[in-house]
Amino acid sequence: MPTVLDEIISGVREDLAARRAATSFQQIEAMAAAAPPALDPLPVFRTAPGVAVIAEVKRRSPSKGALADIPEPGALAAAYAAGGASAVSVLTEQRRFGGSLADLDLVRSAVSIPVLRKDFIVDAYQVYEARAHGADLVLLMASALDDEQLSDLHDLATRLGMTPLVEVHDAAELERALAVRPSLVGVNARNLKTLEVDRQVVADLLPLLPSDVVAVAESGVSGPADVADYVRAGAGAVLVGEALVTGGAPAEAVAAFITAASGVRAAAAGSASAAPQDKE
Ligand SMILES: O=P(O)(O)OC[C@@H](O)[C@@H](O)c1c[nH]c2ccccc12
């Protein structure tokens, strides 16, 4: 039986074929080369106070159906940036998530922070396309790619100046992901084959990441307490969609996540400096 992920990817391939018929590989390559250079998100992620929030523009999802209309993705992205987000994620998958490259264009022109193209990337064309539309980061899902594809697409995105976010959901995928020496790894609490969310997966896998990799906790955040849990588990960044698009106050929500994360860091610093005295 095909999984949800298999079904999404076959739709993505059909839509891709239609775009390719309209814009050739050479044309998209030339557009990517002509785009302003990509921003490097890693220094921003490493120095963000509390936690780096990657805030997502997400209209619908296969698990929840319609989430929010989002008539003005650029305005939403600007609110995220005003709240202190370190990057904006734009879902460009059409059939299940209601996104498009037009959303990516609108967000790109509305903010100056790094922008992630979030899609089911299975072909080099999509990587050039991301760059042509101003993306600084691209999502590469270990669950959707074999080792060779993952390595080739990671190299291509890096050559184009972008930062790949390599997404994993279990220890085997993490091992495959680390083979490409990524600088940014996301642990998705949602299993995209079953759509179930298990935040424990994040807590289990984040400690296995090398310390020079920026660790992103993805999915399943319903409020600041979940962000605090992810930060305690070792997340340097959190990727949040649903809670931000349905909450009605995106800037305030992003700011509250950062405040919660800063609280965790302050408590950890306090107990570290208290520890030697405790022993006396
Ligand atoms: O809405 P949430 O639970 O906050 O999740 C956001 C993001 O993690 C989720 O949209 C996501 C993570 N990885 C993906 C891969 C494809 C599509 C979507 C995703």
This complex has an ipTM of: 0.97
Q: Which residues of the chain fall below pLDDT 70?
A: 275-280
pLDDT of residue 193: 86
pLDDT of residue 280: 43
- The set of catalytic residues is 56, 58, 118, 167, 188, 218-219
> Measured from the CB, is residue 58 less than 6 Å from ligand 1?
yes
All structural domains of the chain, each given as residue ranges with its CATH number in brackets, are 4-266 (3.20.20.70)
pLDDT of residue 126: 98
> Measured from the CB, is residue 240 less than 6 Å from ligand 1?
yes
- Nearest CA owner, ligand 1 atom 8: 219
Output the CA 242–ligand 1 centroid distance in Å. Answer: 8
pLDDT of residue 275: 59
> Measured from the CB, is residue 242 less than 6 Å from ligand 1?
yes
The residue type found at 89 is S
